[in-house]
Structure formats: structure tokens, C-alpha cells
Amino acid sequence: MKSRLCFVVFCLWVITAVFGGWLFVKGWTTEGRDGRTEILLAPAERDQILAEMRHLLKAVDGIIRGLGEPKPDLKAIEAAARGAGMNMAADVEPAMMAKLPLPFKQLGMSIHKDMDALADAIGQHETPQQLLQRLSSMTARCTACHDMYGLSAN
């Protein structure tokens, strides 16, 4: 009887681990009407992700505006980049992260890491051209992600 119970418990554990792994990779998604993958979220979760995207866009705007000045304020530009770095991503709820497909999570985390790297590059006095090339690489990933995914509140 004990061995049968152990077997059942083990099987349930394996099923749970497989489902959890599948959910971590696929997320909570469906095919969208426009061909993109729709990520299904609660309204508050959707609002949180959109707020994070707006924060990132404002950081990009601050960096570009700052680099366009005749005498750029490097401390302000660095602060804009750092404000959109990994610290910004630290408070994400695990339940919401589970709903996001793996490529979406990877793209988002790469942007936050690259914002920190951009802030470091500003501090190391890279040229505006080099900084804009870094930023261009990041915004290319942003547009690719927006081409692949949409957010739906359910």
C-alpha cells in the first residue's frame, strides 16, 4: 500500500513539474486575430506591464533628448538609463511572470540588463554615436516583441 501511495505521489509530482515547465515556457497565451500571440492577463497585470513599457519609453526619450543637446547632461542621461535597468524589474509578481511566454520574458529582461549596460557606458564616456547604436539595438528588440505579442485583459 505504501509503495502504491509513493508511486501516485511521484506521478502527481512529475505531472505538476511538467505542467509548470510547460506553463513557464508557453505562458498563458492564445493566437490573436492579427497573427500575434495574445498574452492573457488580469486587467491589473496588463496595466502593470503597460506602465513598465511606458516607463521604458520615457527613459529612451530622455536618453535621446539628452544626447541631442549641445552640452549633454551625462548624469541625467545615465540616471534615465539606470532607472529602466534591472532594479525596475525586481518587483514583478511570480504569478504574473508565469503567464508570460519565455521569449517575452527573455526580451524584457535583456532590455533591462542593456539599460544598466547603457548607463555604465555613459559613465565610461562612450561617444553619443556609440550610445545611440546601443539604444538602437534595444529598440529593435522592442519593436520585434510588439510585432510578436499583444496583451489581453480577461
Asked if residue 64 lies in contact with residue 57, where contact means CB atoms within 8 angstroms, the answer is: no
60-96 pLDDT tens trace: 999 999 999 999 999 999 999 999 999 988 777 888 8
112-141 pLDDT tens trace: 999 999 999 999 999 999 999 999 999 999
Rounded to two decimals, what is the model's pTM? 0.82
SS3 152: strand
Could you give the CA distance from residue 127 to residue 26 in angstroms, rounded to a whole number? 40
Asked if residue 46 lies in contact with residue 153, where contact means CB atoms within 8 angstroms, the answer is: yes
Range of the structural domain that residue 71 is part of:
2-153
The CATH number of the domain holding residue 55 is 1.20.120.10
Q: Look at residue 47 in the predicted model and tell me its pLDDT.
A: 95
What is the phi/psi pair of residue 138, to 5°? -70, -45
Q: Decide the pairing of beta strands 149-153 and 29-31.
A: unpaired
Domain count, the chain: 1
